[in-house]
């Protein structure tokens, strides 16, 4: 992915409003920055616009140069919003007006509520995932114990069955002579 990222950065090197940059989060001098922006895995791609979380949103798209270029063209240039109403359709303009007409405190409460709901969904996901992981580990343990309990006699049984089959074949062969 690094070559694609470097090509994208070079493509937008002189752009007035789009910056493509990277930070080495494995370097100790960048630990605070990476922690602040919630980077826990590598590579992590974050993007920031006027409508994203102040700490950026996670990019979840493809990692090829073409995928990255398409995302930048569709999401990082001028887009519909209060500063660019000319780029909005009527439905988008109505939604912007609805929120623009709200009291600042009321709007912030709505934003906080949505963020809290998203955080709750993330917490629920992590909690349920932990339960699934524990159930999986228990199933693996139970399976391994069941297999281990059956194996000692199974080896002897197979040896006896093979010897019996060989003996039956030897007896049949004598009858045919």
Residue 38 domain flag: yes
| Mean per-residue pLDDT, 137-147 | 96
Average pLDDT, the chain: 89
On the question of pLDDT at 84 being above 90, the answer is no
Residue 51 domain flag: yes
SS (H, E, C) the chain: CHHHHHHHHHHCCCCCCCCCCCCCCCCHHHHHHHHHCCCCCCCCCEECCCCCCCCCEECCCCCCHHHHHHHHHHHCCCCCCCCCHHHCCHHHHHHHHHHHCCCHHHHHHHHHHHHHHHHHHHHHHHHHHHHHHHHHHHHHHHHHHHHHHHHHHHHHHHHHHHHHHHHHHHHHHHHHC
Residue 34 domain flag: yes
| Mean per-residue pLDDT, 103-131 | 95
| Mean per-residue pLDDT, 136-151 | 94
Give the number of domains in the chain: 1
Residue 116 domain flag: no
Residue 148 domain flag: no
Residue 70 domain flag: yes
| Mean per-residue pLDDT, 63-86 | 87
Residue 9 domain flag: yes
pLDDT for the residue 169: 64
Q: What is the pTM of this model?
A: 0.54
CATH (domain of 53) = 3.40.30.10
pLDDT for the residue 123: 94
Range of the domain at 64: 2-78
* Confidence grade of residue 167 (pLDDT, cut at 50, 70, 90): confident
* Confidence grade of residue 175 (pLDDT, cut at 50, 70, 90): low
Residue 8 domain flag: yes
């Amino acid at each position: 992915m690094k070559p694609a990222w470097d090509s994208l950065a070079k493509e937008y090197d002189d752009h007035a409003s789009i910056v493509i940059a990277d930070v080495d989060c494995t370097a100790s001098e960048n630990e605070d920055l990476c922690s602040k922006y919630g980077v826990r895995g590598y590579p992590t791609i974050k993007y920031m616009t006027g409508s994203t979380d102040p700490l950026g949103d996670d990019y979840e798209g493809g990692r090829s140069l073409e995928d990255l270029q398409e995302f930048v063209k569709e999401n990082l240039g001028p887009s519909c919003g209060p500063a660019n109403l000319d780029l909005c359709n009527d439905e988008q303009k109505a939604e912007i007006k609805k929120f623009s007409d709200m009291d600042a405190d009321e709007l912030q409460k709505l934003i906080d509520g949505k963020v809290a709901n998203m955080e709750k969904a993330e917490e629920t996901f992590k909690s349920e995932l932990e339960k699934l992981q524990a159930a999986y580990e228990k199933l693996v343990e139970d399976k391994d114990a069941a297999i281990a309990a059956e194996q000692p006699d199974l080896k002897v049984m197979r040896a006896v069955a093979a010897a019996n089959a060989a003996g039956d074949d030897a007896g049949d062969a004598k009858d045919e002579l």
